Amino acid sequence: MIVRHKPGFLELLIATHGSVLPRILPRILALTALAALLVWLDGSLLALPHTNAAPFAVFGVALSLFLGFRNNAAYDRWWEGRRLWGQLVADMRALGREVVMFQPEGHQRRPLRLALAFIHLHRANLRRLSHYDDGHTWLEDGEDLRDAPHPPCAALDLMARDVAHHAPDGFAKKALSERIGSIALAQAGCERIAATPLPFVYTLLVFRTTYLYCLLFPFALLEGAGWMTPLFVAIIAYVFFGLAEVTEELSNPFGETVNGLPLDAMCRTIEISLLSQLGEEAPAPLKPVGYYLS
């Protein structure tokens, strides 16, 4: 995630961090060159058919409808991902307090360390990190959950068994099983977003329509815009492909992309809360490196 509030005018102009421009530049240049070729052809070799702008108005409304919908859906996925991790942060802190309130002393450390193992395994699962062992710092010697059918679930299973075994009464069991259920709900929400992409059919419709639009628009501009045609094609390609790329990136909020969510930093936040709770020394929060928070 890029952390950079209110950049100035010049910075806005030249910022490439977090911009999608580098990735769509080839497409923009190709379409612009094609438009320039058409203008040159039309003026020198052969008269191309000119059309008026009416079909493009309708076409443009439809395209904006697709892109706007897709942008909203992608942003909602991104923000829901963030919301679910916020829920996890709150649940983890609440778990810390409830373990202290309900479990007997001497049995408070193990469930919280399992919670830390869970959160790291959950992150690794969402990001599909295969060779990953941050979560295992928090397990007991020799324990290894990486071969479990579902590692984060295995950590929660262990926690539930540990809590059930040492709970002094029904209130403790009830309180902690509700909290584990709430964690499992946020976890399943994250997995839902990670496993279910936006329907592929929208990607097809959006990209096909955008290309058609940019390829045909010059014919409507030839008459009214002349040699400014390539400029307008460039701008419109920038706007449409830019938005399409942004939505592609935001719709996968757990990716390690420049607009992805800072899962590492949030895991650190949870470590700070739970280790303080246990009276152990808490690490420092993660800081952005070159405006980028991983």
**Least distance (Å) between residue 131 CB and a copy of itself:** 20
List the one residue out of 292, 294, 210 whose CA is nearest residue 248.
Answer: 210
CA distance 280 to 158: 22
Among 137, 144, 212, 294, binds a copy of itself (CB under 8 A): 212
Among 4, 107, 109, 136, binds a copy of itself (CB under 8 A): 4
Is 166 one of the binding residues for a copy of itself (CB under 8 A)? Answer: no
CA distance 117 to 138: 5
- Binding residues among 60-89 for a copy of itself as defined by CB under 8 A: 60-69, 71-73, 75, 78-79, 82-83, 86-87, 89
- Binding residues among 244-263 for a copy of itself as defined by CB under 8 A: 246, 248-250, 252, 258-259, 261
* Tokens found for residue 149: 């059918």
Is 145 one of the binding residues for a copy of itself (CB under 8 A)? Answer: no
Q: CB of 259 within 8 A of CB of 20?
A: no
**Least distance (Å) between residue 141 CB and a copy of itself:** 23
CA angle 141, 144, 145 (to 5 degrees): 140
Q: CB of 138 within 8 A of CB of 172?
A: no
State the number of binding residues for a copy of itself (CB under 8 A): 129
- Binding residues among 103-122 for a copy of itself as defined by CB under 8 A: none
Is 288 one of the binding residues for a copy of itself (CB under 8 A)? Answer: no
**Least distance (Å) between residue 4 CB and a copy of itself:** 6
**Least distance (Å) between residue 56 CB and a copy of itself:** 7
Beta bridge partners of 292: 2, 289
Q: Which amino acid is at 250?
A: L
Q: CB of 93 within 8 A of CB of 85?
A: no
Is 42 one of the binding residues for a copy of itself (CB under 8 A)? Answer: no
Q: CB of 282 within 8 A of CB of 272?
A: yes
Q: Which CB, 117 or 160, lies closer to a copy of itself? A: 160
Is 235 one of the binding residues for a copy of itself (CB under 8 A)? Answer: yes
